[in-house]
Each structure stands twice: as structure tokens, then as C-alpha cells.
Structure 1
Amino acid sequence: MVTADTTDALELGTWWAEQTGAEVAEENDGHYVMVRGGGLPVVLAFQKVDEVTPGKNRLHLDLTTDDLEAETERLLAAGASLVGRRGDENFRWHTLADPQGNEFCIATQQA
């Protein structure tokens, strides 16, 4: 399980469930939300805290897709923000942030 601190666990857990095709499996009165399924290899959990730790997160998700540009645009339309487009002709990935600023990357699947 990978757990992220957040000021609104249900809102952020629901966003991640929608983006990954998973579902909110447990709500726990909005204090500890667990997201499962949708092909996720791990459970994502979101823990409500009064204040998140400032600065860049030290742990992040790396997700893969068959169409990097289309998936980036879909996530941006859903409320993610673009941190940067990275890589070269051999390997490309985009760093985004979820609606609460937690960074994650998406990359083209490697053969």
C-alpha cells in the first residue's frame, strides 16, 4: 500500500480512483480512504491530516500508458497540472501533479 497525506482524503481518493479506473474501497469517515482495483498493482491510501508536509514529495507513482500525449491531456482535463515534459527520442515521460500538488509521472510503456 502507498499512502499519501492530504487535507481531504475522500476528495483526493475519489480523484485517483476515477483516473485509474479503480474504486474507493473504504472511506473510514473520510479519515483514511483506500483505493483498489483498476489494474493498480498496489492499494492507494489517503490519510487526512491537518497540514501536509510542504515541499516536493519524496515518493511518487510512475504510471505507464500506450499513448502518452492523450493520457497527459486526459489527466490535465481532469484537474492534474503539468510539471514538465521530459526525456528524449529513446524514452519520454511527463511529470504531473494531482489536484493537491502530489507529483506523479506517466511514461510510454517500454517494449
Structure 2
Amino acid sequence: MPVRWEKIVVDAQDPARLARWWAEALGYVIVNEQSDEVEIRRSRDELPALLFTPVKDVKAVKNRLHMDLRPEDQEAEVERLVDMGARPADIGQGDDVPWIVLADPEGNEFCVLGSRSR
């Protein structure tokens, strides 16, 4: 039987703040907000979702799972995300890779890829 993934759960010290940051970054909307979780999606009826849940501990090591974002203009997107509060992250990627590694406001790494070759 096939299976589809429905959501990715993101541990966060401040789920509401981080969910709003990612909603703005991705152009998503908040579809559910409770005291213990916030869910965002591309649109109200479209899965998959990101679900932000509270944790007390601070992120301490590199993510085992991360998002790759592919914008039309890598440089402009990196600038926009940094202006929103992302910061450059070094996870040992070196200088000769075609992607840029950033971290969200709670330190979760993600990559901003270059434009796709046609």
C-alpha cells in the first residue's frame, strides 16, 4: 500500500514565532494555532504541512533532516531570508558548492539552491 507524507514536525522553543517565520519565508499560511502547536501549509487544504511543537532544550547539533529551497534567484532569496533573520551556517559544506546554507532564527539549517539548469 502506498504511503504519503503528511507533515514534518519541527521542535521549537517558540513554535508560534518560528511557524510565522517559516510561513513568511515559504509563502505559507497558518492553518491551525493552539497553545502547544502551530501548523502551516501552502494553502488551507494542501498537504504536506509543517507542524511546530514546543521543546525546552536548545538546538545543539546539526539537523539530521533539512529543507532545500530552490528559488528563481538564489542571491535575492538569500538576501531576503537574511533580512528576515536567517543567518549563514557552516556545516562543513566548503566553498565550492552551488548552494548556500542558512539557519532559521532557532538555528535549524536549510539550503538555498541555485536555479535549476534547463
Which of the five TM-score ranges fits, normalised by the shorter chain? 0.7 to 0.9
Structure 2 residue 51 is matched with structure 1 residue 45? yes
Provide structure 1 residue ranges, at least 5 long, that are not aligned to the other structure: none
Structure 2 residue 11 is matched with structure 1 residue 5? yes
1:8 Cα deviation after fit: 0.5
Q: Distance in 2 between matches of 1:98 and 1:57?
A: 12
Percent of residue pairs bearing the same amino acid type = 39
Number of matched residues?
Answer: 107
1:26 Cα deviation after fit: 0.7
Specify the code of the residue in structure 2 equivalent to 1:28. Answer: Q
- Residues 35-77 of structure 1 show CA distances to partners (whole Å, capped at 9, x for unaligned) of 1116x86311111112145211111001101100000000000
1:92 corresponds in structure 2 to: 98
TM-score normalized by structure 1?
0.85
Q: Distance in 1 between matches of 2:95 and 2:8?
A: 26
- Residues 81-110 of structure 1 show CA distances to partners (whole Å, capped at 9, x for unaligned) of 01158675xx71111000000000111232
Taking only aligned residues, the RMSD between alpha carbons, in angstroms, comes to 2.1
Q: Distance in 2 between matches of 1:45 and 1:98?
A: 15
Provide structure 2 residue ranges, at least 5 long, that are not aligned to the other structure: 1-6
